[in-house]
Structure 1
Amino acid sequence: MNILVLGAGAIGAYLGGRLLEVGQNVSFFVREKRAAQLTNEGLKIYSPEGNFESREVSIYTSPDNVRNIDLVILAVKGYHLNQVIPQVQTIVQQTGAFVLPLLNGMEHMERLQQAIGKERVIGGFASIIATLNEQGHVEHTSGSSTFKFGILHEQQIEICEQLEGLRTLVKTKLVREENILKSMWKKYIFITAFSGVTSAMQLPSGFIASTKATFAVAKRVIREMTMLAGQEGIFLTDQEVETVTKTLLGFKKEATSSMHQDLRKGLPIEVEHLHGGALRLAGKHHVDVPVIETLYGILKPYENGRP
């Protein structure tokens, strides 16, 4: 299987590196600046799941040069989606590849399906806390990592079976889900609460658990997001909601969200893709999500980096 990782931030570089590590034919599609960094520094991963380094990294910077790809792993931030959709369209037209997006949220799925066809877009997401250091190396700070995927169209069965065949080889949890849309919604519910609250209070996750009022805010976000999921036809049981809530308490006290990390660095944040997306869904269904709306208002000035 020939795999192209589009976007070599922390998530793309991590999964791409793990696939390279077990001998998969992996290349990266990146911008010129990141291409130079990967050429000079190589791909390096520092992780509790095992360190990895490769000096031989295949890189593309123009979609016109991409050929012979079976799977595109789309690992960009939500605010880069508009920019990369034309590139994804060109690559899919030239190669017939399937696309596995690892973005947070849900809005990107419809956008990609409209751009390249429903049969080409596989469901999926990543669960990992990682960032790039100044050298562009991946620093994986959570104890483990999970990448989930699942078919949304019968034409995707074979490629998903090939990907599933790698799960016993790679040093990450590669999980095929039967109901991938429900799993994606669980992640969206969680990350909207976790990223929103840690970023708004500008403190790590330990302060969610240790401050009763803050934990109540996070639980309200989870309830509002669960209601939106139901409006979209995805229904969670009380136990599933409780599991999402307990996940907020399971991190090390110093752990934090990628949005909070980006906020601290003065980088753009995904508030429009996550919280803005939730507000658009609320508007679509004529329901109110006051806590999400408040977090959105607090974080919106940081959307394009430190004001």
Structure 2
Amino acid sequence: MRIVVLGAGALGVYFGGRWIEAGADVTFMVREKRAAQIKEKGLKIESTHGDYEIKAPHVITSPSEIESADLVLFSVKGFHLEGALDNLIALASKGAYILPVLNGIEHIKILQERIGKEYVIGGLSYIFATLNDKGHVEQAGDMHHLYFGPLESSQQKVCKKLADISENAGFISKNSTEMMQELWKKYMFITALSGVTTAVNLPIGTIREHPETLHVAEMMLREIQELAKKYGAVITDTDVDAAMKNAQSLDPEATSSMHKDRRKGLHLEVDHLQGGAVRLAESVNLDVPYTRAVLGMIKPFEHG
């Protein structure tokens, strides 16, 4: 199975590197600047689950440099989606299925409309990982999960092959037949967690100390629960309770990637997450006041 990782950020390098460690054929497709950094510094994973150095990684900067591919792990920030579409279309024309692991939910429909439903597999990840100044991955905590699954019946075979490859790849994988359900559950959690931590500019531990602030996160979970129902996905009260327990169990200094980006003065995924929820809610005439308020609080920081 020939895998192309489009976007050699922390997530792409981590899972791509673990596949390589298990013997898979993986190519990293990156921009020229990132390619130069990889050539100079190499690719390494520093992880609570074991370190790994990727020896002589195969790096390209254009789809024209490969003849064919079976799968693309698409792992970029939501605001880079439009800029990556031409490369995704080119890779799909070479036989590749697209496995997007972006935050959010709107990108699934966008990719299906632009590339074709038959090419887009459902995917998501749970992982705390960043790139350091050398471009190496620093992964922390227990979570290093990659979920994937068919959104069309024709994708079952490729998902089974990916499940076989991932079984011994050193991370937790799941081939799910209910990927839209899984996507909505993650969207619910990350929209609330990223929203509250970024809006108040505080880690989860401090937020937990203030019931009024934690209440905002819970109400955002409830709003996305109702929104999911409007789009045919059932998020149960048990799922919401589990999300709250997850937030309660996190390390006090834990926070969202979007909050980290705010601290660094970087471009934020607020339009892709909270903005997407508001757009989806407007389309079905659902009121989401907590999500809309948090969107308004973060929006001034969107571009750093």
Q: Bigger shift: 42-51 or 165-174? A: 165-174
The aligned counterpart of 1:131 is: 130
C-alpha separation in 2, matches of 1:98 and 1:303:
31
TM-score by length of 1: 0.97
1:10 aligned residue: 10
Please say if 1:116 is aligned against 2:108.
Answer: no
Match of 2:252 in 1: 253
C-alpha displacement of 1:167 = 3.5
- In 1, Cα distance between equivalents of 2:166 and 2:182: 18
Q: What's the offset of the Cα at 1:117? A: 0.8
In structure 2, give the amino acid aligned to 1:101. Answer: P
Partner residue of 1:27? Answer: 27
Q: Secondary structure at the match of 1:275?
A: helix
Q: Deviation per CA, 1:22-64, whole angstroms, max 9, x where unpaired?
A: 1110011111111111111111111111111123111111122
Contact 1:124 1:150 survives alignment (8 Å): yes
Q: What residue in structure 2 maps to residue 230 of structure 1? A: 229
Contact conserved, 1:78 with 1:270, CA < 8 A, in 2? yes
Q: Deviations over 1:143-199 (max 9, x none)?
A: 231010111112111110111112331111011112111011000000001111111
1:219 CA drift (Å):
0.2
Consecutive unaligned residues of structure 2, counting only runs of 5 or more, are none
**1:206-236 deviation line (CA, Å, top 9, x unaligned):** 1232221111010011011111101111112
Give 2:302's aligned amino acid. E
Q: In 1, are the aligned partners of 2:101 and 2:124 still within 8 Å (CA)?
A: yes
User: Does residue 304 of structure 2 align to residue 302 of structure 1?
Assistant: no
Superimposed CA distance per residue, residues 67-93 of structure 1 (whole angstroms, 9 cap, x where no aligned partner): 221000000110000000111011111
* Residue identity (%): 45
Q: Is the CA contact 1:49–1:144 (under 8 Å) kept in the aligned structure 2?
A: no
TM-score (norm 2): 0.98
- Equivalent residue number for residue 270 of structure 2: 271
Give 5+ residue unaligned stretches, structure 1: none
Q: Is 1:82 matched with 2:79?
A: no
> Structure 2 counterpart of 1:119, which letter?
E
**Structure-1 residue corresponding to 2:182:** 183
Structure 2 residue 171 is the aligned partner of structure 1 residue 172: yes
Aligned residues: 304
Counterpart of 2:66, as a letter, is: V
Cα pair 2:68 2:91 within 8 Å, conserved: no
- After the TM superposition, which of the residue ranges 232-241 and 4-13 deviates more from structure 2? 232-241
Range moving further from structure 2, 166-175 or 179-188: 166-175
1:145 is paired with a residue of what secondary structure?
strand
CA distance in 2: counterparts of 1:208 and 1:20, whole angstroms: 39
Shift of 1:129: 1.1
- The corresponding residue for 2:149 is 150
What residue in structure 1 maps to residue 210 of structure 2? 211
Is contact 1:231–1:285 with CA below 8 Å preserved after alignment? yes
Q: Shift in Å at residue 106 of structure 1?
A: 0.8
Q: 1:99, CA displacement in angstroms?
A: 0.5
SS of residue matched to 2:45: strand
Deviation of 1:237 after TM superposition, in Å, equals 1.8
> Partners in 2 of 1:150 and 1:54 — Cα distance?
27
Query: Structure 1 residues 290-299 or 58-67, which shifts more?
Result: 58-67
C-alpha distance in structure 2 between counterparts of 1:91 and 1:164, whole Å: 21
> How do 1:43-82 residues align onto structure 2 when only pairs under 5 Å count?
43-82=43-82
